[in-house]
Structure formats: C-alpha cells, structure tokens
Amino acid sequence: MKFGSLPLDEALGGVAVHSIRKDKLVLKKGTTIGNAEVLALRSAGIDEFVVAKLEPGDISEDIAAKALADAAKGEHVRVDDAFTGRANLFAEKAGVLVVDKEAIDRLNGIDEAVTFATLPAFGMVAEGQMIATAKIIPFAVSEASYRATVEAAKTATGLVRIAPYRIKKVAVISTRLPGLAEKVIEKTLRVTKERLTPAGATIVADKRIEHDSAKLSQAIDEALAGGAELVLVFGASAIADRRDAIPAAIEQSGGQVSHFGMPVDPGNLMLIGDVGGTPVLGAPGCARSPKENGFDWVLSRLLAGLPVKREEIAGMGVGGLLMEIVTRPQPREDTADEKKNIAAIVLAAGRSSRMRGPNKLLADFRGKPLVRRAAEAALASKASTVIVVTGHDEIAVRNALQGLDVRFVQNPDYAEGLSTSLKAGIRALDENITGAIICLGDMPGVSGALIDKLIAGYEPARGALIVVPSRNGHRGNPVLWSRRFFHEIMKLEGDMGARKLASTYAEGVAEIEVEDDSAFFDIDTPETLEIARKAVS
C-alpha cells in the first residue's frame, strides 16, 4: 500500500487519510478520491493530498475486517457489515461469552495492522449485545497477513461463541443461627432473584432451616426431588472447612465437593459441589450483596451449563481482587473506645426554603435557637471535635452559637445542595480523625446520648463501619461514617446526601436500635416546628 502526499492526478483512486474543510469543501477521511473529489480539491486551491493507495495483492480494510469476523464467529454470534475497517460481532442469544484466549492472542500477534478484541471471557451478555470487534488499523493489509489472520481465526468452535442459558429452576436454601435477622434472608432472596433474572431463571423453592448438616441434606434432597436444576445454599455462618455443615450435607446426600475456596475477593469462601449431577453451590457471604463478586463468576457459567473445573477456579487470581472489602479491618483502626477519634459535623448551611421565609435553624426552640440545640448535643457527646458547616445566614448562625466550643467552616456553594456541605465538613477534618457523625441542624430530638450510642457501635474489626439509628426497620439520623468512606462522600454531587452509600456498602452497616422518634424527626415547615415544640422534650 502506498501512503503519502501525492499530486492530485496521482491521488486519483486513493483513500483520503485526513478530513479537509476549506471554504465550501468538506472531504471526510476515508473517502475514495474520484474525479469529482479531484476537481473540488483543485477548486479549493489544494494541489497535493495525503492518500493511501492499494497496490496489487492488498486487501481493503472492510473486506479484511468482515472476513476475519466471519471466520472468528462461533455459535449464536452474528457479524454486521464492515465499515471504516471495523466489523462488529453480536450475541444472537442471551448467555455467557466463551472465548478462545490462546487463539486470539496468536491472531493478534501475526500483524500489528490486524486486531481482534472481545468483552471479558465468561461474562453474562444480553441478546443483541456487542461482544467483539475485528479492526483493521490501516486502510489495507497485505494478502499474506490477510490469509494468515483469517486462517488463525478458524477454530473448531470459533474464537467467540455464546453459551445460552440452560438452567431455569433454582432452589435457594438458607440456614439459620441465633442472631441472623429474617430481613437478611429476605434481602438475600431479592438479590438472588435479580441475579437470576437476566438468565430467565426463577427460584422454584425457598427453604429455611437450622444450620445443621442433617437437616440441610434433607432440604437438598427435597429441592432436587422438586425439579431444581441448581441449588444455592446460603449459610448463616461462613464455610470454614470441608468438614463444615454445608459440605457435609452435600456428601450426606450422596454428592461430592469438587472445590472449596477461590482466589477471588470478595468470594473466597465459595464451595462448588454436585448431587447426582445437579450443581450445588455453597455461597460466600458476599453473595448477599448485589455487587459483583466471585459468586457471580461461577453462577453465570453454571446457568449456561458450562462446567467449572478446579484449574479454572485456580486461574481466577489475576484480576480476582474486585474491590476493597469494606468490612475488612485495617491495622490503623483501633476499636478501643479511648482510641476512637470521632468528629461530629453539624450541617447548618441550608436555605430553609420550605419554611416560607425565616431560617428554621434560627427559630426559637425551648429558649434557644434550633441550631444551638443541635450543636450542644454534639458537644455533650464523646465526639472529639465539633465542626459546624455554615452557608446561608452565616453571620446569624455564628451568633446563635456564640460561646460554644465549635469550629466553623463556611460553604460558599451551599446553594448547590446538601452534598457541598457534606464535602466542606469532610475537608475540614484533621488527618487523625477515624470517623465522622453527620448531624443535621434541624433535628431537636437528637441528644448527646444518642450520638454516644453510635460511637459505641462503631467497631471496624467487626465490620461496623457505618452506624445508623434504627427503629422497626427504618433508619434515621445522625449517621456515623468511617474514614474509609470519606473519599466516596467527596464524589457526591447536587442535593444528594450519603444515604445511597449505605445501600452500596450494606455489608458495612450496623443498625443501633432506638426506642423513640428522636432519630426520625426533622423540621422542614412551620407546621412541623410547632409539632416538635410540643412533642420533643
């Protein structure tokens, strides 16, 4: 292939390498230069032009890309027509993407001009989803490279294929131990249903039993007798050994454990077995969370009827660290009360727009401004420092807190929403602070004693990194956040608080039960202010 700047007469038949815009001329990259294009270029005062011209034996980019993609496609894969040297491959059915990595690596090593890229192997894909692309980088390749790469793409099953979902009936068995809340099992069931939905699979049995191998074995037998094609076991306690309750139950049912443990985190404590040819998975604790973990990697394959061999599990270590495990304790954190260094951040920057005029934080509440009551509650707690974030009516709020041992931080962006005040407070914290309680300036029922309950409940070594007050399953305020989440809070935008993070990192949340409404009553309107004056002592 010739490449370079040529006089217009010699450029005829070549392909434009660059786009050109001059006066009324618009010539796009990739345009084949014909007589009309030569005339237009000459009229625009252009005498030379950079083109690529095919020589005898060269294969054009689109022909090469389409031929490569056609050779690479396997079962349930279709190829679109090539355009600008690219041919895309798509899934014809929902399922799991299976790739021949060694063959793809060999192909990509033949000629730098020819590339083939795919989505990650064994990922779940939807019908119609793009799964791979063949791209020719220059405008043409030599016939030798063309033939070599197309031949390399021809394998028995294709470089990429879709294994359609086959398993549709799933049984879920949950074991119980004292202290395991029923709502944990309910949440696990909801999360599992969401995982199964893309595969068209449903939960046909929901069994809840004591954490006992004999009873679990009986439950497995009943699930299989009921037609389950896959059994998922969520233990009340993590599997600690091949002789633990879940693997023992599989063996008591006449099955076998093929693998315990995997180099994927979260997901280490995965157990894979089968009874009578039906797969049985002992789920790790992280499978209760909707976030991707090792459980997903195995579940997707099984739903598509793909075997999960021991050597495949062993090969998952590279790339197996999926995220920081928020409940994993870190050496710098000490759970002893005297070592906790928790700050209280009082948010007092809002405009009180729903009060229809006055600033609610300055409203009298039993002889003192509402915001002063919030600040005094924080000062009466074991919080090591109290920071008040101001914004709207800054001077008036400062005056309302005159004489209190608090540190003020002005948020100039308060009009942009709650997140800006959260971030202003977090930025003001000293480096030795291990956590922060976010207090709202309009909650007169919050006391120093309630804040101390949250501080006492903060136990990083036990996975209690976000501490919230709760009553009858409903969460309130204030909320204590480990320093580990400060960088996440700093990403919030607009009028968004940090509540969504508590859902994202559900495994790190500890709920502290409260007996009254103090953690749930905030003031937004004149009417709620009057109600609070009568109800809150």
Residue 270 has pLDDT above 50, yes or no: yes
Residue 253 has pLDDT above 90, yes or no: yes
How far apart are the C-alpha atoms of 347 and 229, rounded to whole Å?
53
Check whether the bond before 478 is cis (ω within 30° of 0).
Answer: yes
pLDDT in tens, 471-516: 887 899 999 999 999 999 999 998 878 887 887 787 788 999 998 8
> Which secondary structure element, helix H or strand E, spans residue 481, and what is its range?
strand 479-482
How far apart are the C-alpha atoms of 258 and 270, rounded to whole Å?
11
Summarize the confidence of residues 51-63 as an average pLDDT: 83
Selection from 142, 133, 84, 87 nearest residue 113 by Cα: 142
Q: Are strands 169-176 and 114-118 parallel, antiparallel or unpaired?
A: unpaired
**Mean pLDDT comparison of 304-318, 494-508, 521-535, highest-scoring range:** 304-318
Q: Spell out where 229-283 has E strands.
A: 230-234, 256-260, 271-275, 278-283
The token duo for 414 is 């308060």
Summarize the confidence of residues 422-430 as an average pLDDT: 95
Q: According to the model, what pLDDT value does residue 333 have?
A: 43
How far apart are the C-alpha atoms of 464 and 329, rounded to whole Å?
10
Residue 298 has pLDDT above 90, yes or no: yes
* CB 259, CB 279: distance < 8 Å: no
All domains of the chain in start order, with CATH: 2-53 (3.90.105.10), 58-163 (3.90.1170.30), 169-314 (3.40.980.10), 337-535 (3.90.550.10)
Q: 75-111: b or e for each residue (b if 16 or more CB lie within 10 Å)?
A: ebbebeebeebbbbbbbeebbbbbbbeebbeebeeeb
SS3 content of the chain, % helix, strand, coil (to 5): 35, 30, 40
How far apart are the C-alpha atoms of 321 and 328, rounded to whole Å?
13
* CB 12, CB 149: distance < 8 Å: no
Q: According to the model, what pLDDT value does residue 517 have?
A: 83
Q: Are strands 407-410 and 385-390 parallel, antiparallel or unpaired?
A: parallel
Q: According to the model, what pLDDT value does residue 325 have?
A: 57
pLDDT in tens, 335-387: 444 458 999 999 999 887 777 678 889 988 888 999 999 999 999 999 999 99
How far apart are the C-alpha atoms of 333 and 454, rounded to whole Å?
17
How far apart are the C-alpha atoms of 387 and 345, rounded to whole Å?
5
Which residues lie below 8 Å from residue 417, measured CB to CB, with a gap of 6+? 493, 494, 495, 496
Residue 160 has pLDDT above 90, yes or no: yes
Confidence of residue 29 (pLDDT cuts 50, 70, 90): confident
Q: According to the model, what pLDDT value does residue 521 have?
A: 82
How far apart are the C-alpha atoms of 286 and 466, rounded to whole Å?
17
Residue 17 has pLDDT above 90, yes or no: no
Q: According to the model, what pLDDT value does residue 339 have?
A: 55
pLDDT mean across residues, the chain? 90
How far apart are the C-alpha atoms of 289 and 199, rounded to whole Å?
18
